[in-house]
Chain A
Amino acid sequence: MKRLLSHPSLVIGLAATLVFLALGLLSLAWTPYPIEQIDIPRRYLAPSAAHWLGTDNLGRDMLSLVMAGTWTSFLVAAVAVAIGVGVGVPLGLAAAAWGGAVEWLVLRLTDFVFAFPAVIVAILITTLLGPSAVNAIIAIGIFNIPVFARVARGGALSIATLDFVAAGRLAGLGNVLIAWRHLLPNIMSLIIVQGTIQMSLGILAEAGLSYIGLGTQPPETSLGLMLREAQQVFLIHPWLTLVPGLSIVLIVIALNIAGDGLRDAIDPRLRQGNSNVLA
């Protein structure tokens, strides 16, 4: 733990992310103003003591919107990552442990899903089911599956050739136990790092989908949806687009820095074997 804390980028990134997460969580219980509260006479107000970030085109308090929007963005991205990990990692491990036909199938599936960027999946789903935050989660989540499957498979393959896996087979361990005892613990760090990357990509994807109307719908709010609503008036009232945009940028930077720091902190242990550089 102490070793992890000695990496400044990890600490800063993680701290910043947690601040935003806390703000988002807080919005579930309390926001300065209810986000549905429309107050037309008080719209387009500049930041003031009453409204720290001003009000939007319908008089809603921007700070409250940002807090609630942050939460939605995190939620969508996190559930999408959970889908990716929950389905992708077992698939990748199965491909590495069983090989043969299983691997071929998993590879073809991942190749196939890679051909469908999240936007396209979102298009298809919303045509069928209508736009919503849930559909955004599904679309982004589906795209996360092959990413994690590839990472898990790649990591597991480089470990599967090591002798201790063969030793496990000698001890009578079946493929499932091999994956669980030997492969999974050694790829955990890879998965976590990839998780932070996909998290930040998920927030950007959610923003994009909501912006074009395929994601979160009113009266809920998300950072992307705020940008959509700001689109109509941004030439005259640029503030409405600066606030949610900057929020997105800051959150994603925080996540990326945390991810980079995490990789640096964990990487030395991932390196297998001994390179005799000092001999």
Chain B
Amino acid sequence: MSLLEVSGLSIRFGATEAVSNVSFSLERGERFGIIGESGSGKTLTALAVTGLLPEGAAMTGSISLDGASLPASERAMARLRGKRVGMVFQEPMTALNPLMRVNDQIEESIRLNEMHGATQIEVPYLLKEVGLELRHGDRFPHQLSGGQRQRVMIAMALASRPDILIADEPTSALDLITQRKVLDLIADICTRRQMALLFISHDLKAVAALCNRVAVMHRGRLVETGRAAATFSAPQQPYTQRLVAASRFDVRPPSRPAIGDTLLEVNGITRDYRQGGMLFWADKPLRAVNAVGFSIASAECLALVGPSGCGKTTLAKIIVGLDKATTGDVRLAGTTYHGSDLPQPLRRDVSLVFQDPFGSFNPRRTIADSVGEPLRLEPELSREARQARVVEAVEAVGLNAGMLARYPHEFSGGQRQRLAIARALVTRPKLVVLDEPVSALDVSVRGEVLALLARLQADFGLTYLIISHDLDMVRAMADRVLVMDAGRIVEEGKPAQIFAEPQHRLTRDLMAARLPDVGMAPA
């Protein structure tokens, strides 16, 4: 008898069916992964299993735990959930009560589930098990980092010695190195306590690394299911095949213009931030960027990688002209500037593509208006010329000029990112800076956008500076890689070389944190 048996599960919100006829089972001690992108219904499925569906959701089908169907009364369901299932959610920032100390929150979990033995012994033990120290327990959630908060969530989930651990995107909001640590922790705990794991994510590599069996969900349906290794190395369904291909980032087009002379030079850029505090109590300035120097050649694709907070975004803002360096300068095609004093005529030569497609367009303005906005930097263009440029840019990214009169909310995330690229191209720049260009997109769409970027570089001889934490994307796209840590460049080299023989400690940590590629035979 399976530990968890889901059969014919369907969830409707009014007339829309969010989950259709999903069936799967989970055995004791098994590790089962559900893969899906946004809108696939994977989270709803997990919520249905624990009775936490939002209001307005109508559920049909059967769910049984150890052969017994889930209780109807809210109270009984709540207690069952607490005792048998531990849950870890995605957003560590908001998942903990900001007004309660961590110790108290974990203790509540223990007390609720009537454990034997004094409470005092248990909390410190749990903290240790998830890799936290006693002093962390005394703190409030906002005083801990994202990774630490996620560990607290795990500790709370384990307090009742559950049989199943459900983890829904537990690491998406964390940076690369912490991600690996938390995933390892989950794997370790499940092995040690012999718990079943239901792991839900869009990240194929994480699921492949952790789970024995997987299921793929797409638009509410279960598309494919099977043993992890088999499903990834030989996917049966077209959707699964697309996902696996997309996670491998095979993007470089064969022909590209040759890399030319130096286009951009960065010399000793330093950026200090003054911290808060009154006159005499002011804290020491925070050095976000520390004497950074490098150059980019024309038609080259340079990647800048590093953990969050390393200063790469600040550096990008200075290069693009949104922020001012404290010392040092930048040279672009002969002209020297320090950031926001980038002279007006030169601004058209540098563009920035933002990370979040949902925040990069003014919801109150048409796409035509927004994409054409940078053309203010070229006042000598006539109206017709401007219109022509906008159309040209939009068509270059594979969209239809007829869409120009629409508003941002009418487009999907992938389309909006294409439009963001169009906006960056409309002034025919020499250098395009891309800040995490695909991280906020669904996995299946990432490949398309990256292919587009590669094609545009080939067609127009663009120079790219890509900022990312996604090492696989960087390996697929970049000619050269710079690794940044705490404001300094710590390593430089070609991707293949850096991946094979990392020199600096941080680079080695980053490489170690990488999960094995999907679909390849285990090393």
Contacts and interface: CB of A to CB of B under 8 A. Distances in A.
Co-complex (A, B): yes
Interface of A: 162-164, 166-173, 181-182, 185-186, 269, 272-274, 276-279
Contacts of A277: 43, 54
B362 A276 contact: no
Given A163-B356, A269-B363, A279 B321 contact: no
Given A170-B321, A170-B347, A272-B359, 11 more contacts: A166-B322, A167-B423, A170-B351, A171-B377, A173-B373, A277-B43, A278-B41, A278-B43, A279-B37, A279-B38, A279-B43
B39 interface: yes
Given A168-B373, A170-B347, A182 B38 contact: no
B352 interface: yes
A186 B373 CA distance: 17
A189 to B, nearest CB: 10
B281 to A, nearest CB: 17
Nearest to B168: A279
A120 to B, nearest CB: 31
Given A171-B373, A171-B374, A182 B362 contact: yes
Given A172-B344, A279-B39, A279-B42, A167 B360 contact: yes
Interface in B357-374: 358-365, 370, 373-374
B40 interface: yes
B360 A164 contact: yes
A162 B347 contact: no
A278 B40 CA distance: 8
Nearest to B372: A171
The 10 closest A-B pairs by CB, nearest first: A163-B360, A163-B354, A162-B359, A185-B364, A279-B38, A171-B374, A171-B373, A164-B362, A163-B359, A172-B377
Contacts of A162: 359-360
Contact of B376 (A164, A171, A185): A171
A149 B40 CA distance: 43
A186 B364 contact: yes
A103 to B, nearest CB: 14
Contact of B18 (A168, A269, A272, A278): A278
B320 interface: yes
A173 B322 CA distance: 12
A181 B363 CA distance: 11
B367 to A, nearest CB: 12
Nearest to A170: B352
A247 B13 CA distance: 44
A171 B41 CA distance: 40
A167 B376 contact: no
Nearest to B36: A279
B87 interface: no
Nearest to B18: A278
Interface in B30-48: 36-44
Interface of B: 13, 18, 36-44, 54, 320-322, 344, 347, 351-352, 354-356, 358-365, 370, 373-377, 413, 423
A277 B354 CA distance: 24
A186 B362 contact: yes
Contacts of A186: 362-364
Contacts of A163: 354-356, 359-360
B374 A276 contact: no
B358 A273 contact: yes
Contacts of A273: 356, 358-359
A279 B344 CA distance: 44
Contacts of A274: 38, 358, 413
Nearest to A270: B363
A128 B463 CA distance: 69
A94 to B, nearest CB: 19
A172 B347 contact: yes
Contacts of A171: 373-377
A170 B374 contact: yes
Nearest to B369: A181
A167 B364 contact: no
A155 to B, nearest CB: 13
Contact of B38 (A169, A173, A272, A276): A276
20 contacts: A164-B361, A166-B322, A166-B352, A168-B362, A170-B347, A170-B351, A170-B374, A171-B373, A172-B376, A173-B373, A173-B376, A181-B365, A185-B365, A186-B363, A272-B358, A277-B54, A278-B39, A279-B39, A279-B41, A279-B44
A106 B43 CA distance: 45
Contacts of B54: 277
A173 B358 CA distance: 21
B320 A170 contact: yes
A182 B363 CA distance: 9
Contacts of A167: 352, 354, 360, 370, 373-374, 423
A185 B362 CA distance: 9
A167 B321 CA distance: 11
Contacts of A272: 358-359
A185 to B, nearest CB: 4
Contacts of B375: 171
The listed residue with most A CB atoms (<10 A of its CB), out of B322, B354, B362, is: B362
A274 B359 CA distance: 10
A246 B250 CA distance: 74
Contacts of B13: 278
B354 A278 contact: no
A181 B366 CA distance: 12
A80 to B, nearest CB: 28
A162 B361 CA distance: 9
A169 B376 CA distance: 11
A125 B365 CA distance: 44
Contacts of B322: 166, 169-170
Nearest to A277: B54
Contacts of B356: 163, 273
B84 to A, nearest CB: 25
B359 A164 contact: yes
